[in-house]
Amino acid sequence: MKNKAKFWGIHAAPSKWLSWFLFALPFVLLILGYLLASEYRHRQNPSDKLLPSFSKMATTMQHVAFEKNKRTGEYQLLSDTLASLKRIGTGLGMAALLGVICGLNLGLFPGIRHLFLPLLTFVSIIPPLAILPMLFIVFGVDELAKVVLIFIGTFPVITRDIYLTVKKIPREQIVKTLTLGASQISLVYRVVLPQIFPRLIETVRINMGPAWLFLIASEAIAAQSGLGYRIFLVRRYLAMDMIIPYVLWIVCIGITVDWILKSLLRYKFSWYMKQQG
Amino acid sequence: MQTESLRANSFLFFEDVYKSYGAKVVLDDIDLAVARGEIITVVGPSGCGKSTLLRLVLGQELPSRGQVTLEGKSVGLPDVTRGIVYQKYSLYPHLTVLDNVLMGPRLSMPLLKRWRVRGELREEAFTYLRKVGLAEHYRKYPHELSGGMRQRVAIAQSLIMKPKILLMDEPFGALDPGTRENMQLFLLELWEEFKMTIFFVTHDLEEAVFLGTRILILSQYYTDDRGDGSHANRGAKIVFDTALPKEAQSTSVKSVAAFGALIQQIRREGFDPDYLQHARDFNLNHPYSFQTLRREENGI
């Protein structure tokens, strides 16, 4: 019997061309819909700001991306991007680093687990945005408060994720390692750490979303630069011609980072990908 | 032999060992003396505590009462004196076959020395890999190996540390019958060469009789003078202990009549819930076996 189903049903096997077509279709429809709506509104009101035309967005972005800002002497898109990436990189990086160390120790040492796990659970339930004002009061409106917000928002999740991964390592393997002459320290850092490293990359990938949320929220409230700052600044002038490309730019950055991390997993940790199936 | 001389002369020694979890007694007054170089196989009905017995030797669990000694010293937490091969999870998924075998030597050496002798270590690891027939697979990861190959690597990984005793907890339990038989022969070959002491837990009677130089049955199906009913709260005891002949190195021995008869006997004495021997009548005819019954167990 030949499998005829191309699209419908659980036995469907789309051909290569069809799968490319299916991939592109929703995007094409979205863009077409936008173009039509924009065209319609501009006919009604040539100075419409809500759905700017593609050419309008392109000109605006041309100005901010490739021309030096007259007042600051900087390329605005570049300086915004760098400021945001620095914050998110520092915050998420610190969270990943401390998260993996804490997760390892929580997972392997019952004493540490009893001492800190309840506290960690408590902290992880606090909505980070609820303590944002507190962070601004304590750490000032400079970089530190923003980095700390990203850290506080992602650290408990990363730690818990690593902790659960460590707990899943079979008891047998740990005993085995001790029979091979490992000290407790080398068990933690030479046997368990390399095994959970791919999971760390994965949990950082997952936490990129929340990290962006916290970044933009803190930039929206107080900043002098950054992607979130810019979006909230130009909102006052209804400058959709800048907001929409900025959002797309953030999406591009997100996809790129995600792709880099995924490639790292695929090429450096093939054993892990095989295990996950 | 007398208990005194056994205590002094045996390699592995259990005396009055109990293990209970809460109120439930699992191992009930285990007495066991083992000579160096034996392959002890342990069988018993499921849930009788075979693996618990092994974990007591390993140090993964500690006895509730009594003592386990290895070469006269009380066994502590797991360390290099005892090697272990489990049914699974023995290998590190993130390391190649070679690195898996090298893990032990690397872990037990300081960094500088490890760097200095790295060539010799590699050579030694390859020696063991050749012995287990996997030298050409040294760059593969565990997930790329078959079940039998994985267990061979696990055995090499343990043997390279030259443990005093090799503990095996149903190591071939997940293999298909053909591979399993090959692994049994392979283990006997290794044993002929290294003459290491092996403590082998299995649920397969045929495997136990074929591999062992001595077989133990651990069973909760027996009776004694503590009476019946739940208040007796009996755990498993060694109910059968005998030496096995070890001359033929071929699996054809499995079809010999005496082999089958022994398996039948073991099945009846250890695995039949209705066949209850009194504790003082256990079939403990191995020269090293001994039994210290307490008064309430042995009425008189």
pLDDT at B137 exceeding the cut of 60: yes
CA-based nearest residue in chain A for residue B88: A172
Q: What average pLDDT does the segment B248-254 reach?
A: 68
* A169 phi/psi in degrees, rounded to 5: -65, 125
Q: If you average pLDDT over each of A46-50, A209-213, B179-183, B255-259, which comes out highest?
A: A209-213
Q: Which of B78, B93, B103 sits opposite A271 (nearest CB)?
A: B93
Report yes or no on A90 lying in a domain: yes
pLDDT at B251 exceeding the cut of 80: no
CB of B216 within 8 A of CB of B236?
A: no
- pLDDT tens profile B57-114: 999 999 998 888 888 888 889 999 999 999 988 899 999 999 999 999 998 888 888 8
Do residue A108 and residue A220 come from a single domain?
A: yes
pLDDT band at B126 (very low <50, low <70, confident <90, very high): very high
Within 8 A of A269 by CB-CB distance, chain B residues are: 94
Question: Given this model, what pLDDT does residue B142 score?
Answer: 92
Report yes or no on A7 lying in a domain: no
CA-based nearest residue in chain A for residue B162: A180
Within 8 A of A178 by CB-CB distance, chain B residues are: 77-79
Question: Given this model, what pLDDT does residue B280 score?
Answer: 74
Tokens matching residue A233: 């600044």
Do residue A145 and residue A261 come from a single domain?
A: yes
Lowest mean pLDDT among A271-275, B123-127, B230-234, B272-276: B230-234
Within 8 A of A175 by CB-CB distance, chain B residues are: 58, 60, 78, 84
pLDDT band at B2 (very low <50, low <70, confident <90, very high): confident
Report yes or no on A25 lying in a domain: yes
Do residue A28 and residue A81 come from a single domain?
A: no
pLDDT at A62 exceeding the cut of 70: yes
Q: Do A175 and B84 lie within an 8 Å CB cutoff?
A: yes
* Residue spans of alpha helices (H) in chain B: 3-9, 50-58, 97-107, 111-116, 118-131, 147-159, 177-194, 205-211, 257-271
CB of B193 within 8 A of CB of B249?
A: no
Counting Cα atoms < 13 Å in the Cβ hemisphere of B174 gives 13
Q: What average pLDDT does the segment A16-39 reach?
A: 95
Pick B300 or A191 by higher pLDDT: A191
Please tell me the distance from the alpha carbon of residue A112 to that of residue B164, in angstroms, as a whole number: 34
Q: Residue B117 gets which letter from DSSP?
A: T
Please tell me the distance from the alpha carbon of residue A191 to that of residue A173, in angstroms, as a whole number: 9
Please tell me the distance from the alpha carbon of residue A232 to that of residue A223, in angstroms, as a whole number: 10
pLDDT band at B231 (very low <50, low <70, confident <90, very high): low
What distances in angstroms separate CA B37 from CA A155, A161, B67, B78, B204, one per listed residue? 53, 46, 21, 21, 22
pLDDT at B300 exceeding the cut of 60: no
pLDDT at B264 exceeding the cut of 80: yes
Interface test with A, best of B54, B91, B103 (most A CBs within 10 A): B103
Within 8 A of B161 by CB-CB distance, chain A residues are: 179-181
Report yes or no on A60 lying in a domain: no
Q: Would you call B245 helix, strand, or coil by DSSP?
A: coil
Please tell me the distance from the alpha carbon of residue B232 to that of residue B235, in angstroms, as a whole number: 9
Do residue A96 and residue A147 come from a single domain?
A: yes
Do residue A97 and residue A33 come from a single domain?
A: no
Question: Given this model, what pLDDT does residue A262 score?
Answer: 93
Please tell me the distance from the alpha carbon of residue A248 to that of residue B164, in angstroms, as a whole number: 65
Count helices and strands in chain B by DSSP H and E runs? 9, 13
pLDDT at A245 exceeding the cut of 80: yes
Please tell me the distance from the alpha carbon of residue A226 to that of residue A74, in angstroms, as a whole number: 13
β-partners of residue B216 are B42, B241
For residue A213, the domain's CATH number is 1.10.3720.10
Within 8 A of B78 by CB-CB distance, chain A residues are: 175, 178-179
**What mean pLDDT is reported for chain A?**
92
Question: Given this model, what pLDDT does residue A91 score?
Answer: 96
Q: Do B82 and A182 lie within an 8 Å CB cutoff?
A: no
Q: From the CA of A222, how many Å to the nearest CA of chain B?
A: 45
- pLDDT tens profile B23-71: 888 888 888 888 888 999 999 888 888 899 999 999 999 999 888 888 8
Do residue A34 and residue A127 come from a single domain?
A: no
- pLDDT tens profile A69-95: 888 888 999 999 999 999 999 999 999
Q: Do B141 and A270 lie within an 8 Å CB cutoff?
A: yes
Do residue A124 and residue A234 come from a single domain?
A: yes
Q: Within 10 A of A133 (CB to CB), how many other CB atoms are there?
A: 11
Q: What average pLDDT does the segment B177-192 reach?
A: 88
Q: Is any Cβ of chain A less than 8 angstroms from the Cβ of B92?
A: yes
Q: Within 10 A of B247 (CB to CB), how many other CB atoms are there?
A: 5
Report yes or no on A106 lying in a domain: yes
pLDDT at A277 exceeding the cut of 70: no
Q: Do B86 and A172 lie within an 8 Å CB cutoff?
A: yes
pLDDT band at B166 (very low <50, low <70, confident <90, very high): very high
CA-based nearest residue in chain A for residue B155: A176
Question: Given this model, what pLDDT does residue A141 score?
Answer: 83
pLDDT band at B291 (very low <50, low <70, confident <90, very high): confident
- Return the number of CB contacts < 8 Å for A and B: 71
Homologous superfamily (CATH) for B1-81+167-300 = P-loop containing nucleotide triphosphate hydrolases (3.40.50.300)
- pLDDT tens profile A150-164: 999 999 999 999 999
pLDDT band at B248 (very low <50, low <70, confident <90, very high): low
Share of chain B above pLDDT 90, in %: 25
Q: What angle do CA B45, B49, B52 make, to 5 degrees?
A: 150
Report yes or no on A56 lying in a domain: no
Q: Which domain holds residue A44?
A: 16-51
The residue written with tokens 């066949």 in the block is: B275
Q: Is any Cβ of chain A less than 8 angstroms from the Cβ of B79?
A: yes
CA-based nearest residue in chain B for residue A184: B107
Question: Given this model, what pLDDT does residue B197 score?
Answer: 92
Q: What angle do CA A188, A189, A192 make, to 5 degrees?
A: 60
Within 8 A of B163 by CB-CB distance, chain A residues are: 179
User: Which ipTM did the prediction report?
Assistant: 0.88
Report yes or no on A177 lying in a domain: yes
Do residue A25 and residue A133 come from a single domain?
A: no
Question: Given this model, what pLDDT does residue A44 score?
Answer: 92
pLDDT at A140 exceeding the cut of 70: yes
Question: Given this model, what pLDDT does residue A51 score?
Answer: 92
pLDDT band at B299 (very low <50, low <70, confident <90, very high): low
pLDDT band at B230 (very low <50, low <70, confident <90, very high): low
Do residue A167 and residue A30 come from a single domain?
A: no
Quick one: which of B94, B45, B92, B55 has its CA closest to B77? Answer: B55
Q: Which of A181, A182, A275 sits opposite B93 (nearest CB)?
A: A275
CB of A136 within 8 A of CB of A145?
A: yes
Q: Do A173 and B89 lie within an 8 Å CB cutoff?
A: yes
Q: Is any Cβ of chain B less than 8 angstroms from the Cβ of A200?
A: no
Q: From the CA of B96, how many Å to the nearest CA of chain A?
A: 10
**What mean pLDDT is reported for chain B?**
85
- pLDDT tens profile A119-139: 999 999 999 999 999 999 999
The residue type of A102 is: C
Q: How many domains does chain A have?
A: 2
Interface test with B, best of A179, A185, A201, A272 (most B CBs within 10 A): A179
Lowest mean pLDDT among A5-19, A229-243, B219-233: B219-233
Q: What angle do CA B56, B59, B64 make, to 5 degrees?
A: 50
Quick one: which of B229, B247, B241, B249 has its CA closest to B269? Answer: B241
Residues with Cβ within 8 Å of residue B116, at least 6 apart in sequence = none
Report yes or no on A10 lying in a domain: no
Q: Do B161 and A175 lie within an 8 Å CB cutoff?
A: no
Question: Given this model, what pLDDT does residue A201 score?
Answer: 95
Q: Is any Cβ of chain B less than 8 angstroms from the Cβ of A218?
A: no
Query: Judged by CB atoms within 8 Å, which residues 151-170 of A form the interface with B?
Result: 170
Kindly list the domain boundaries of chain B, sorted by start residue. 1-81+167-300, 92-162
* B95 phi/psi in degrees, rounded to 5: -120, 150
Over its C-alpha atoms, chain B yields an Rg (Å, rounded) of 20
Per DSSP bridges, beta strands B222-223 and B277-278 are parallel
Pick B292 or A264 by higher pLDDT: A264
